[in-house]
Amino acid sequence: MDSGYFKFYHEDSFDSRNHLDTYLTSSQEASFIEDILTFPIKKLHKMFREGHIKGDILIDLSKGSMVHYLYAACEFFEHILVLKITDRCIMELKRWVDERTGAFDWQHAAKLHLDIEGDSEKFQEIEANVRSALQHVVKCDLTKENIMEPMVLPEADCVISGFLLDVISKNHDDYIKYLGKFLKLLKPGGHIILCGALDTTYFTMGKDKLHYLKHDENLPRDALVKEGFAIDCCEVKNSSVVSDLTDYKGIIFIVAHREK
């Protein structure tokens, strides 16, 4: 089906809470947990524990109001900056940070992180640590060359982007353009971590279908190499579900660093 039929993430009032309830709930009926939550958390845990990715500043540029990437990251960075392109995503995330009534429940993500670590006793501690780390949640503008204009951010040691490039890019040229803007946030030697869906054309939110950029693993790999990055890790997980909600065939997790 032509992508023009679909709505767009950043143009058509993306409902961040609906997204969480549809794709990241802890319900036993949840189909996507293994692919969208468990796989990235396990890979992030491994990468950070190896000790090569750490520093002062981590910037998260991810789809919706997801926080599960940051359970594994918060102890390795002094400061975490979360950039969002819509007010709605910011409001939903801050609702969780401030422990307000009706906030999305991320306890299943915290439990998974602690199960991987083998230390289930630190449940309340890890939740508090992530909330404490998320004190800088700000809006960015992807139409600007400096997406934080007029602010100039300090260069980051690491940028994480989960599923965002796939939904804001209308074509491969867009993907490369936006990726280039993300990479400019990094200091020399800094790392970028990308997680995305492969061979996807849409995802469903309520009654609406939203655009997803169809691509294979070569698009992010080739784009990073052309920008002068070395690939440290690239792993693809085949989809574990068949659903009318979305048609992705796999999930990619890729880590690269900028040559000094």
Cβ contacts of 127 within 8 Å, gap of 6 or more: 106, 107, 110
**13 or 166, higher pLDDT:** 166
Which helix (H) or strand (E) segment holds residue 255: the answer is strand 250-258
Mean pLDDT of the chain: 91
- 3-7, 37-41, 69-73: which has the minimum mean pLDDT? 3-7
- Mean pLDDT for 94-122 is 88
Which residues, at least 6 apart from 164, have a Cβ–Cβ distance to it below 8 Å? 61, 62, 63
CB-CB contact of 234 with 248 (8 Å): no
Q: What distances in angstroms separate CA 120 from CA 33, 39, 126, one per listed residue?
A: 20, 19, 10
Domain covering 3-26+34-258 in this structure, CATH number: 3.40.50.150
Alpha-carbon span 163 to 161, nearest angstrom: 7
* 5, 154, 159, 170, 257 from 187: Cα distances, Å: 39, 9, 10, 28, 10
Per residue in 167-225, pLDDT tens? 999 999 999 999 999 999 999 999 999 999 999 999 998 888 999 999 999 999 999 99
- Do the beta carbons of residue 245 and residue 207 sit within 8 Å? no
Length of the chain: 260
pTM for this prediction: 0.93
Residue spans of the domains in the chain: they are: 3-26+34-258
Taking residue 226's Cβ as centre, other Cβ atoms within 10 Å add up to 11
Whether 1 has a pLDDT exceeding 50, the answer reads: no
**CA dihedral angle for residue 95, residue 99, residue 102, residue 103, rounded to 10 degrees:** 50
- In this structure, what token pair is assigned to residue 97? 């940070």
Rg (CA), the chain: 17
The average pLDDT across 123-139 equals 87
Maximal CA-CA distance, the chain: 50
157 pLDDT above the threshold of 80: yes
In this structure, what token pair is assigned to residue 114? Answer: 């602690």
Residue 29 confidence (pLDDT): 59
pLDDT digits (tens, 9 = 90+) for 57-88: 999 999 999 999 898 898 899 899 999 999 99
> Rounded distance, CA 116 to CA 119, Å?
8
Q: With CA atoms as reference, report the closest residue to 63 among 194, 180, 174.
A: 194
**Cβ–Cβ under 8 Å, residues 232 and 185:** no
* Residues 22, 245 contacting (CB under 8 angstroms): yes
- Terminal alpha carbon distance of the chain: 43
